[in-house]
Chains A and B, each alone.
Chain A
Amino acid sequence: MKPAPFAFRRPATLDEALAALAGEPGAKVLAGGQSLVPLLSMRLAAPSMLVDINALPDLDHVTASSEGDEAGVRIGALARHAHVLASAEAAQVQPLLALALSHVAHPTIRNRGTTVGSIVHADAAAEMPMVLRLLEGSVDVASVRGRRTVPAAELFAGPLESTLAHDEIALEAFFPSLPDGGGVAFQEIARRHGDYALVGVAAVVQTEGGEVTGARLGYVSVSDVPVVVDVTDALDDPAAAALAELEPTDDIHATAAYRAHLVKVLTPRVLADAIHHARERSAQRKKQ
């Protein structure tokens, strides 16, 4: 089980990397490779060239800011999942990151795999694309044609398909901070811890004086793309509201009916966790 032959570039500057991508329409970017290399080995993908970005400078950062319009976590294209997960500042500013990252594969995979790479790989069974979508984050991308910021709502086109052009490199992901009065939660059901989830659910809620004023849920492994459902007006039966917008499908891992069942079980549980988290956070703020 070996990859098909490909040309290889390992540029030292971003300009060289962008030029290499622009000059070879069949080229793919190689960052952590934890999703791409298995696809190559199984010959599910056969790009004509890999552009290895691991030698590019200034892309392995995880920076967190809790002030102003830019409050949130910025993650560079070469920051490994393990690095993001270990960042106490990132967990403080946006706690959903660490909650979700601890479910991403196993530690050994997280040592090499990158968070930005996982996002633009756009696997609807992966946690981080959904988390970016749920938090309404964005990805900064570059090509020889210039730079642009892609909002998460416009990033996911289909299974394993982002809206990035073939010559674009994702440089950085931005996850907005959790505001005061906000709470988050994440749970997933997998056959074994570390496997892809059969269903995963994340919740973000907003509270004022303990009352819920906003509640949104994100789903992993239920549809072809990460799906977000607003259940602010359906707090008494959020699972029914979610299932009205989700279309669980059959695959070799689970039936559609079982996935719908897991949505029914996990949705109220995760929502309750997030509300609890919001109230605890508010109570701690008052003490300080």
Chain B
Amino acid sequence: MSTPEELHDVRLHVNGSVHEVQVPARRLLSDALRHDCGLTGTHVGCEHGVCGACTVLVDGQPVRSCLMFAVSAVDAEITTVEGLTEPDGSLSPVQQGFSDCHGLQCGFCTPGFLTTITAGLRDNPDPTEDEAREMIAGNLCRCTGYQNIVRSVLRAAEIGFEARSAHTSTSDGGQQ
């Protein structure tokens, strides 16, 4: 009998909550999120960084969770697809954009697109169609042919813009 594999106590900060998990060092962050934290919204496709389905936000930046170990994520604030919804539970602009434009069919790749685009629109809130394509170039989708995903990015930008102007006019009204 070989000696049992060493386990590490890891404290993960995911979507504003703390998850204390015990994992071997080789536990991929994607597996830790799904199996140890129970957050199965993050999907695992290729498991070598090509498909983008497992993309999560690490300190706000899109990162492949299959290319990180859970033990390396201790100092990071992680956002998964479950953390994208608004505080009241309604869909975020990116999620709403996908719903409006039929940006998904089977939905397997969608969590990776949603996290990637959320960060992409934060950095570039008003992308051109070319920039929208570039934003999603690192994610694979086998259903949609990407056309509706590009439309979803542009629609999400619109929704974000509308939400911001509504917010601005409300706060302006409050000041007057």
Question: What residues of chain A have their CB less than 8 Å away from a CB belonging to chain B?
Answer: 1-8, 10, 30, 33-34, 37-38, 40-42, 50, 52, 54-55, 82, 105-109, 111-112, 193-194
Q: Which of A2, A8, A108 is in CB contact (< 8 Å) with B8? A: A8
Beta-carbon contact of A109 and B138 below 8 Å: yes
Chain B positions within 8 Å of A30 at CB level = 69, 72
Tally of contact residues, B, Cβ under 8 A: 29
Q: A153 → chain B, closest Cβ, in Å?
A: 31
Beta-carbon contact of A108 and B66 below 8 Å: no
Does B153 belong to the interface (CB within 8 Å)?
no
Q: A2-B26, A8-B25 are in contact. Are A108 and B6 (CB under 8 A)?
A: no
Beta-carbon contact of A37 and B68 below 8 Å: yes
Beta-carbon contact of A8 and B64 below 8 Å: no
Kindly list 12 other residue pairs between chains A and B, CB separation below 8 angstroms, not including A42-B48, A106-B138: A2-B28, A10-B71, A30-B69, A33-B67, A34-B64, A50-B69, A52-B69, A106-B52, A108-B116, A112-B63, A112-B64, A194-B137
Alpha-carbon gap, A37 to B116, bound state (A): 21
Beta-carbon contact of B68 and A194 below 8 Å: no
Q: Which of B26, B48, B49, B64 is in CB contact (< 8 Å) with A5? A: B26
The B contact surface, by secondary structure, is mixed
Which residue of B is nearest A192, CB measured?
A: B137
Beta-carbon contact of A108 and B62 below 8 Å: yes
Q: A38-B49, A112-B58 are in contact. Are A33 and B138 (CB under 8 A)?
A: no
Does B36 belong to the interface (CB within 8 Å)?
no
Beta-carbon contact of A52 and B67 below 8 Å: no
Does B110 belong to the interface (CB within 8 Å)?
no
Beta-carbon contact of B68 and A5 below 8 Å: no
Contacts between the two chains (Cβ within 8 Å), count: 88
Which residue of A is nearest B46, CB measured?
A: A1
**Mask of B54-93 contacts with A, CB within 8 angstroms, 1/0:** 0100100111101111011011000000000000000000
Which residue of A is nearest B62, CB measured?
A: A108
Chain B positions within 8 Å of A42 at CB level = 48
Chain A positions within 8 Å of B67 at CB level = 33-34, 37-38, 109, 112
Beta-carbon contact of B138 and A111 below 8 Å: no
Chain B positions within 8 Å of A3 at CB level = 26, 28
Beta-carbon contact of B25 and A107 below 8 Å: no
Q: Which of A37, A50, A54, A193 is in CB contact (< 8 Å) with B137? A: A193
Q: A80 → chain B, closest Cβ, in Å?
A: 8
Q: B65 → chain A, closest Cβ, in Å?
A: 10
Which residue of B is nearest A39, CB measured?
A: B48
Alpha-carbon gap, A52 to B29, bound state (A): 15
Beta-carbon contact of A111 and B62 below 8 Å: yes
Q: A50 → chain B, closest Cβ, in Å?
A: 7
